[in-house]
Amino acid sequence: MPELPEVETIVRGLASRLPNRRIERIEVFQPRVIIGDIQRAEGFTIAQVRRRGKFVLLDLERGGRRGHLLAHLGMTGQLRLAAEPGPYTRVLFQLDKGALLYNDVRQFGRLEFAERLPARFKRLGSEPLEIGEEEFVRRFRARRAMVKPLLLNQAFLSGLGNIYVDEALFRARIHPRALANRIRPGRAAKLYRAIVRVLREAIAHRGSSISNYVGSDGRRGAFQHLHKVYRRTGLPCPVCGAAIRRILVSQRGTHFCPRCQKIRSGAGRAPEPIGGTLGSARRGAR
DNA sequence: GACGATGTTGGCAC
DNA sequence: GGTGCCAACATCGT
């Protein structure tokens, strides 16, 4: 759920409230979501709130010492201000004024305190809104991978998730299984512009609320109403009217228009659908 | 009640 | 470097 536009929305909400607040005490109700010793963040003052990829980053300071609080929201994580703790509140940050809650139903998210940014974090790829068209096209076409898994790869580009990859590929009329190195430069440039446009529009609508996503103030996003293919299986393509299809691409549910998004003939492509819903050699014994 | 799907990443095998 | 498959977890729809 929380992809770049949702995380950006949360960060903007926090950025107007958290700077200069001091972290007095941290209560951990579910250790599973914590990496390392998060209590070390107690006593620090929040200097700045930032986003990097799908991470929320709080830059901390305490008498010349610096630190960072990293939050990845996984699938169902929420950072809330001015809210009451609930059954899914996993961590509570008691501030000198108010509190910050970390709620997470499925507990796939992670919170971590670090004095220096960890290596995993530094391996993140470029920000889609900062990389620039030429650079994107050059790097994109240098990869021999299916476009969908490539765009989901956070080391290649950081911040895109299942929703926005499907939406951007639709707008650029690229088949999710097409191979990146077979996409012509003009089409790759179109993809870049589609990604930027979709992300900007989604941010303007405060993200997509498919299941439980809400901003730091508890408000839902509205971009889900503007999705053209994501979770619209069987509904007519807004461009040509063909029924939107759902297939599996590297284990991820993938939505596209079979008429608008074709793999150009002669261009490389990955093996056909492989059943998608059938498949015999799966369903292993745990 | 059982099953499959859900926006996340990471680890393993090949 | 790239893909497939599984794992973590809880909820919801069929």
Q: Which of A62, A141, A187, A252 is catalytic?
A: A252
Answer whether residue A25 shows pLDDT above 90. yes
Q: β-strands A110-114, A34-35: how paired?
A: parallel
Q: Which of A123, A145, A170 is the last residue of a domain?
A: A123
User: Are A37 and A139 within one domain?
Assistant: no
A114/A140 same-domain check: no
Query: Rounded CA gap, A72 and A108, in Å?
Result: 9
Task: Look at residue A221 and tell me if it is in a domain.
Answer: yes
A92 has which bridge partners? A27, A101
d(C-alpha A209, C-alpha A173), whole Å: 25
Is A128 inside any structural domain?
Answer: no
Number of domains in chain A: 2
Instruction: Say yes or no: A164 and A275 in one domain.
Output: yes
On whether residue A43 sits in a domain, the answer given is: yes
* pLDDT bucket at A276, cuts 50 / 70 / 90: very low
For residue A236, the 8-state DSSP code is B
The CATH number of whichever domain residue A202 belongs to comes to 1.10.8.50
pLDDT for the residue numbered A30: 94
**Is there a catalytic annotation at residue A54?**
yes
Nearest nt to the CA of A179 via C1' is: C2
Same domain, A278 and A139: yes
- Examine the domain organization and report whether A140 and A259 are in the same domain: yes
Tell me, rounded to whole angstroms, the distance of Cα A214 from its chain centroid: 14
Q: Is A228 a catalytic residue?
A: no
* Mean pLDDT (chain A, rounded): 90
Whether A21 and A150 map to the same domain: the answer is no
Query: Within this chain, do residues A171 and A269 fall inside the same structural domain, yes or no?
Result: yes
Q: How many residues are recorded in chain A?
A: 286
pLDDT tens digits along A174-217:
999 999 999 999 999 999 999 999 999 999 999 999 888 999 99
The tokens of A14 are what?
């926090």
pLDDT in tens, A39-54: 999 999 999 999 999 9
Question: Do the Cβ atoms of A9 and A221 come closer than 8 Å?
Answer: yes
Same domain, A103 and A178: no
A145 touches strand C (CB under 7 A): yes
Q: Tokens in use for A77?
A: 């994580």
> Are residue A110 and residue A204 in the same domain, yes or no?
no
Domain range for residue A279?
133-283
Tell me the pLDDT tens digit for each residue of A242-275: 999 999 998 899 999 999 999 875 555 544 443 3
Query: Between the CA of residue A223 and those of A124, A204, A209, A227, A276, what are the distances in Å?
Result: 26, 8, 7, 7, 28
> Half-sphere exposure of A246 toward its Cβ, with a 13 Å CA cutoff?
14
